[in-house]
Amino acid sequence: MDSAQALAVVRSLANGVDPESGEVFPPESVYQRPQTVRALYEAATALERLERSDRRKAQMPAKTGEPWNEDEDRKLLAAFDAGRGLPELATAHERTQTGVRARLVKYGRLAA
C-alpha cells in the first residue's frame, strides 16, 4: 500500500465510511466517536504533509541536503574560478543554486 492509498483509507474512515464497502458506519461504531474522528483527521493531515514533502524532495536535485566533501568542494571552487555560472555548477554537482551559492560564500568566492 502506498501513501496515497493509505490516505484514501484514513479519509474514508474519518468520514465514517467503510473504505471497502462504501457503507456508512452505524452511530454506535468506534469510527463515529468524536475522538476517533478527530484522530483520523489528524492522521490524514499528517499523511498529506508527508505526501507534499515527498513530492518536493522528488523535484530537488539528488544531492540536496547531503554534506559536501573535500573533493566536491575542490571541484566546485575550480569550476567557479574557471568562470562557470551558478546554474551550471548546481547541475554539475546535483545541488540547488542556493546550496552552491552558500558554499561559494563559505569559501569567500561570493559576498554574503
pLDDT over 90 (residue 1): no
Structure confidence by residue, pLDDT tens digits, 37-56: 999 999 999 999 998 998 99
Residue 16 has pLDDT above 90, yes or no: yes
- Quote the CA–CA distance of 53 and 11 in Å, as a whole number: 19
- What is the distance, to the nearest Å, from the Cα of residue 75 to the centroid of all Cα atoms in its chain? 28
For cell 501513501, the residue is 3
Looking at residue 86, its pLDDT comes to 96
Of the pLDDT bands very low, low, confident and very high (cuts 50, 70, 90), residue 2 is confident
Model confidence at 3, in pLDDT bands (50, 70, 90)? Answer: confident
- Kindly tell me if the per-residue pLDDT of 62 is higher than 90: yes
